[in-house]
């Protein structure tokens, strides 16, 4: 199962409306969106959940509050949740207003985020 292309198009449209300079990158069956060389958000196929999830990098300040919402899950690939990152289930981004909320959190946090160290090839 590939990532949800309709969700990808919605994210691209909303980022363009906000005049965000972004790039998208296919990664491990999903799609990652970057702003200023840093992860902004993404689409992840969760085999346990069985659907595309929105992966949002929102930072520690918003993390605890947002994680209390019923459609939010800790971002956990290895058994250790990554603080500052969450998964949002489809009920949490059903409307463009809902999706905009998450994108705005990601965009607000992005200037504070640290970029990953680049790997030498």
CA angle, 107 as apex, 32 and 16 as ends, to 5°? 70
Residue with tokens 């969760």: 46
Which of 110, 92, 89, 119 has the alpha carbon at shortest distance from 40?
A: 110
Q: Look at residue 14 and tell me whether its pLDDT is greater than 80.
A: yes
Q: How far apart are CA 23 and CA 120, in angstroms?
A: 20
Confidence of residue 118 (pLDDT cuts 50, 70, 90): low
For residue 27, what pLDDT is reported?
83
Q: Give residue-wise pLDDT tens across range 24-78.
A: 999 877 899 999 999 999 998 877 777 889 999 999 999 999 999 999 999 887 7
Q: Give the model's confidence band at 3: pLDDT under 50 very low, under 70 low, under 90 confident, else very high.
A: confident
- What pLDDT, on the 0 to 100 scale, is given for residue 72? 95
Instruction: Give me the pLDDT at residue 43, please.
Output: 95
Domains of the chain: residue spans and CATH: 5-112 (3.90.1150.30)
pLDDT in tens, 79-103: 788 899 999 999 999 999 999 999 9
Read off the tokens for 106: 């990601």
In the prediction, which pLDDT does 45 show?
83
Contact 85, 56 (CB under 8 A): yes
- CA 43 to centroid of chain Cα atoms: 6
pLDDT greater at residue 65 or residue 119: 65
């Amino acid at each position: 199962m590939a990532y949800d292309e309709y969700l990808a198009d919605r994210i691209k449209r909303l980022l363009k409306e906000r005049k965000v300079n972004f790039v998208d990158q296919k990664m491990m069956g999903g799609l990652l969106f970057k702003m200023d060389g840093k992860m902004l958000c993404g689409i992840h196929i969760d085999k346990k959940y069985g659907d595309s999830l929105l992966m949002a990098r929102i930072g520690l300040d918003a993390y605890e509050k947002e994680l209390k919402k019923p459609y939010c899950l800790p971002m956990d690939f290895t058994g250790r949740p990554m603080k500052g990152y969450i998964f949002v289930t489809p009920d949490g981004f059903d409307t463009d207003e809902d999706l905009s909320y998450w994108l705005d959190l990601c965009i607000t946090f992005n200037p504070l985020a640290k970029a990953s160290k680049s790997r030498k090839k």
